Each structure stands twice: as structure tokens, then as C-alpha cells.
Structure 1
Amino acid sequence: MDLLQPLVIFFAEHGYLAVFVALLLCGFGLPLPEDITLIAGGIITGLGYGNAHGMVGVTLAGVLIGDASMFLLGHHYGPRILKWRLIAWLLPPARYAAVQRQFERYGNRLMFIARFLPGMRTAVFVTAGATHRVGFLRFLLLDGLAALISVPLWVYLGYLGAYRRAWLMAWIHRGQSSLWILSGVAAVVVLGLWWRHRRRQACRTAGCD
């Protein structure tokens, strides 16, 4: 939370572009909390330095372009990207193996879950691209659905708490818990739809009436 006030000041001085670039850097693995960046973007709109709905659009673009860039770099360069200094720092061999194990457990659904795992997003997206475990359009769909939950929540929370910092701090903690609940509900829905689709396919193959 110590970063919140400096980010608010910086974003208020430089506007939407600063928020957009900061979120791109978050996607590239910069050790800057994405959630706090989104909240700071929301706060400046509550203080009158922008429009909250416009900020949601800007932040969604920054988040998705950053995520997609890491996925596409991994997809283009494959395992060779692990030799890059920054990627090697973000994704050492042990962590790369751990992310692969998570893919074995959750499959492509990990693309959705990763958005709610601070510190894991970049590693998951690079690994997904490098191992060609998921196509780009499916990646974008799953990551985009998760972003549509998390990004507006943090931005509007910052907007509503611009002048009520104690209230905001309390709701940040509640919001983090709420995101886990929402992601769990969404994951259950996705799993249900996937199971229903697989069941229909099996039924067609077996010649069910």
C-alpha cells in the first residue's frame, strides 16, 4: 500500500497514458502491484483528473496488451525465451516446471485463474506461449473474461474511495477476497459448460438419441 500515494500523484500529473504504460510494464513483469496501479487510476478519476468509465477502458487495454505481449513473445521464441535475462529472473527452471505442473492440473483454465494470482501472471502467460499449450484466441478469451471481472472492480473501488482512504483500505482487503469468490464462481461455470460440451460430444459419438 506504500506505493499507492506516489502512484496517485504521478498519474494525476501525467494522466491516462501514465496509467496505460504502468500496466504494460506490470504485464512485462515489473515488480509493481497491478491491483494497486488500477486503484490509483481509479482514485485520480474520483479526484477529478479523468472519467472513471474511460479509465476502465484504458486500463483494460493496458492489461490485455501487456498480457498478450508476453504470451506472443513466448509463442514466437518458444523455450529460447527462458534464456533472456529478464525472463530467466521471472521464470527460473524450477518455477517454469511448477507452472507446467499447474497446467497439467488445471489445463487451459489456468489462463483465467492466473489473472487473480499476483506474481504468477507473467510466468503463466510466458509458459503458455512457450509451450504452445493454448491458442492465442482462447488465451485472449480466458484472460479477457477474467480482466472484465478484476479491472473494473479495482478502478471503480478507487473512484469511490478517492476521498475516503480508511474506507478504501478496508474495501481493498474485502475486494481481494471477493475476487477469489468471483473467480471461483466463474471457474465453476466454465467447468460446467466444458463438461456439458464434452458430454454432448461423447453422446454424438455413441449415437445417443
Structure 2
Amino acid sequence: MELLERLVTVFAENGYLAVFVALLLCGAGVPLPEDITLVAGGVITGLGYGNVHVMVGIGMAGVLVGDAGMFLLGHHYGARIRQWRFVARVLTPERYAKVQEKFERYGNRMMFIARFLPGMRTAVFITAGSTHRVSFLRFFLLDGAAALISVPFWVYLGYLGADNHEWLEMWIRRGQNGIWLFCGVVFAVVLALWWRHKRRMECEPGPR
């Protein structure tokens, strides 16, 4: 938890702006875990350096602006963006091929799933923008829906565990697994409803 302690110190000294900038860096592919950054933002509010509800808003803004920036860069520059040095480090040929395979498998739902894929989300958003696979509005809605799950969870977790780092560390590990489980359940339910609707449409008699 050394990284968490460092972030808490920086955020406590510099406030909301530092959290927002750190989340922008997360969105740009800097190797800074987004979940730990959000938890650190929550911790400083639990220590009295801010308001936890405002921090959730700051977290949402930082996450969505960072993600949207990567998507729009890809959308504007297309395939040329893969030649940029910082993008080439994030979007290696192997990772690009993996992202393409995920898109073929999950389609535009990949925008929602990507929020829970550390190390992959930036590559997914750049790829989605550069290949024009999804409109910006659809991307923003899907990414925003996923952020409404992850951002409040991590910020409030940090707030509740501000004075008990052992408890917090335990729930960070549980939370990382729990969010995956929650998303899996949601995905399964949506898939089941889609399949049921499809079967119903196939069974309905056509016009005579």
C-alpha cells in the first residue's frame, strides 16, 4: 500500500485538482492504477481534507474526461495515432490485436467492459476512436454507465477506511474481485434478456 500512502500525501497537500490531474494521467495510459487513485481521493475526505460527495463528482469528471480524450484523439487522427511514441507504448501490436479480438467478440459492449480492464482501457478507447467502431455518444454513455459503478465504489471505500488501512487493504482486494463478479452477473442478465427477446421474436407469426 506504499503507492496509496504516497497518493494520500500528495492529494491531502494539493486537494481536488491533484486527484483530477492524476485521473487524467490514468486515462492517458500512465501506469498509475485508477482504483488506487480513487481510493486515495476517498481517504483524504475521510481524514477531513474534503467532501466525499464532491470527490465522487471530481472522480467521475476526471475519469470521463480522460477516457473521452483518448477516444477523441483516436477518432481525429485515425490509424496515424499508433505511430505516436506514447501511444505505441500503450497500444503495442500484440495489445492492438487483442483489443480487436475483444471487439469482434463483444462488439460495442467492449466500451462498458473496458472500464474494468486495468492496463487495457486506454488501448480500447484509442482503438475504438481510431477505427470508428462506435459513435462518441454511445461510447460516452457506456463508459459513463461503467464509471457510475466503479467511481463511487472506490471513493466511498477510501472514505470508510481512512482510519483503518488494514481493513481498507482487505476490501480493496475484495472489491477488485467483487466488481468483476457484479459485472459478470449484469452481463449474464443482459445476455439472457436479449436471448429471450430474440426467441420470442422468432416464435411470433409473421404477417399473413
TM-score (norm 1): 0.93
Aligned partners of 2:65, 2:72: CA distance in 1, in Å?
A: 10
Structure 2 residue aligned with 1:81: 81
Structure 2 residue aligned with 1:61: 61
| Structure 1 residues 194 and 46: CA distance shift in structure 2, 3 A | same
Quote the offset at 1:199 in angstroms: 5.9
Percent identity among equivalent residues?
71
| Structure 1 residues 192 and 144: CA distance shift in structure 2, 3 A | farther
Amino acid at match of 1:174: R
| Structure 1 residues 202 and 179: CA distance shift in structure 2, 3 A | same
- Describe the superposition over 1:59-92 as per-residue Cα deviations: whole angstroms up to 9, x where unpaired: 0010011001101111111111000000011111
- Describe the superposition over 1:178-199 as per-residue Cα deviations: whole angstroms up to 9, x where unpaired: 1001111222233345446656
- SS at the partner of 2:21? helix
Q: Which runs of 5 or more residues in structure 2 are unaligned?
A: none
Structure 2 residue aligned with 1:152: 152
| Structure 1 residues 78 and 18: CA distance shift in structure 2, 3 A | same
Amino acid at match of 1:207: G
Amino acid at match of 2:151: V
Structure 1 residue aligned with 2:110: 110
Aligned partners of 1:37, 1:19: CA distance in 2, in Å?
A: 7
Structure 2 residue aligned with 1:207: 206
Aligned partners of 1:33, 1:58: CA distance in 2, in Å?
A: 17
| Structure 1 residues 67 and 198: CA distance shift in structure 2, 3 A | farther
Aligned partners of 1:89, 1:201: CA distance in 2, in Å?
A: 46
Structure 2 residue aligned with 1:26: 26
| Structure 1 residues 119 and 153: CA distance shift in structure 2, 3 A | same
Aligned partners of 1:26, 1:15: CA distance in 2, in Å?
A: 17
TM-score (norm 2): 0.93
Aligned partners of 2:35, 2:163: CA distance in 1, in Å?
A: 19
| Structure 1 residues 208 and 30: CA distance shift in structure 2, 3 A | farther
| Structure 1 residues 32 and 208: CA distance shift in structure 2, 3 A | farther
- Describe the superposition over 1:126-182 as per-residue Cα deviations: whole angstroms up to 9, x where unpaired: 111111111111111111111111111100000000001111011111111110011
| Structure 1 residues 208 and 174: CA distance shift in structure 2, 3 A | farther
- SS at the partner of 2:2? coil
| Structure 1 residues 143 and 199: CA distance shift in structure 2, 3 A | farther
Aligned partners of 1:60, 1:141: CA distance in 2, in Å?
A: 13
- Describe the superposition over 1:84-109 as per-residue Cα deviations: whole angstroms up to 9, x where unpaired: 00001111122111110111111111
Structure 1 residue aligned with 2:17: 17
Q: Which runs of 5 or more residues in structure 1 are unaligned?
A: none
| Structure 1 residues 190 and 89: CA distance shift in structure 2, 3 A | same
Structure 2 residue aligned with 1:163: 163
